[in-house]
Amino acid sequence: MSFGAPGWLLAAALLVALGLWAFERARRVRDARDLAYSDLAFLRRTLGERDRFGALLRGAWIAGLALAALALARPHLLLPVPVHDGAVVLCIDTSGSMASTDIVPTRALAARAAATRFIEEMARGERVAIVAFSGAASVVQPLTARHAAAIAALDTLPAPNGPTAIGDALALAGTLLGQRGPRTVVLVTDGVNNTGIDPLAAASTLGERGIHVDTVGIGTNSGSLIPGTSEAAGIDDAALRAYARASGGRFVRVENSSELRGALGALGRVTSFERKSVDVSLAAAFVGALLLALAAFAAVGLGRIS
């Protein structure tokens, strides 16, 4: 928590202390009066109930005073707020290894279905682009806020074939993103780069621009072969972690279609929010005033103030 007007904190503390003193003084005066004019037997029978109610009432007064006074210092909290000007580029691997069936029905089809889930989870107004990559990278869908159009574009992804140029995909994604606003690249791949520019350098460059690279590693280490080859379809966890770390992003490893849909759906929701410093002084003042009003009504209604 931070404060826009920290100088008011001392005044707020004094106000709370003054309120507590006034409340305690009123309580002592009332107790002295009750003791003088009530019979002791009745006082003893009701003392326990009265003390419990008094503690609740006192707590409401204290909380109300504290919140109302704290509002003077203009408190700010870091809270997740919806992003309406954000931009995300989905980089989807379409290399030959994505034809592997270790994830049913194939890595490629599972990635396409999960990408649909990702776009569906994005906030209205947030823009998305799609980049496909194998031996080279290409734009399947430029940045658009029309999510239905982006989902339709997923049907045009190339069939799995060729080597894997992750660095080229990251560099191309960077050209689609501007210089301001929340910007994220979501990379869906098995992480085994074997051509093109250095992916780690490309991820670092994006990070320097304030663009996070979230990497989603898809596949298992079951020894499954890439269809039509004698090459195993593996996954390079260490590389994907490094790309995410270099740009301040996140890494997720998935080994089946359900995990992939869940991971990308969660990332879609995350990219729709960002943490911002929000002024909560009005909310603090409102809640404090409400507590004070409720405590006053309760005290009057039950005879605690007369």
What is d(CA 168, CA 172) in angstroms, rounded to the nearest whole number?
Answer: 6
- Write down the pLDDT at residue 167: 97
Position 306 confidence tier, pLDDT thresholds 50, 70, 90: very low
Please tell me the least confidently modeled range out of 90-99, 136-145, 226-235: 226-235
Kindly state the tokens that stand for 25. Answer: 């003084």
Residue type, 65: L
Percent of the chain whose predicted confidence (pLDDT) is above 70: 73
Q: Average pLDDT in the 41-67 region? A: 62
Kindly state the tokens that stand for 214. Answer: 């979230």
Please give the CATH architecture assigned to the domain spanning 84-271. Answer: 3-Layer(aba) Sandwich (3.40)
Convert the pLDDT of each residue in 249-301 to its tens digit.
999 988 888 888 888 888 777 665 666 666 777 887 788 788 778 777 776 66
Residues in a beta bridge with 88: 128, 184
Highest mean pLDDT among 17-21, 201-205, 215-219: 201-205
* Residue range(s) in the chain whose domain bears CATH number 3.40.50.410: 84-271
- Write down the pLDDT at residue 292: 74
Q: pTM, whole model, 2 decimals?
A: 0.66
Position 31 confidence tier, pLDDT thresholds 50, 70, 90: low
Is residue 54 over pLDDT 90?
no
Convert the pLDDT of each residue in 173-214 to its tens digit.
999 998 888 899 999 998 789 899 999 999 999 999 999 999
> Which one has a higher pLDDT value, 74 or 116?
116
Output the average pLDDT for the chain.
Answer: 81
SS (HEC) of the chain: CEECCCCHHHHHHHHHHHHHHHHHHHHHHHHHHHHHHCCHHHHHHHHHHHHHHHHHHHHHHHHHHHHHHHHHHCEEEEEEEECCCCEEEEEEECCHHHHCCCCCCCHHHHHHHHHHHHHHCCCCCCEEEEEEECCCEEEEEEEECCHHHHHHHHHHCCCCCCCCCHHHHHHHHHHHCCCCCCEEEEEEECCCCCCCCCHHHHHHHHHHCCCEEEEEEECCCCCCECCCCCCECCCCHHHHHHHHHHHCCCEEEECCHHHHHHHHHHHHHHHCEEEEEEECHHHHHHHHHHHHHHHHHHHHHCCCCC
Position 33 confidence tier, pLDDT thresholds 50, 70, 90: low
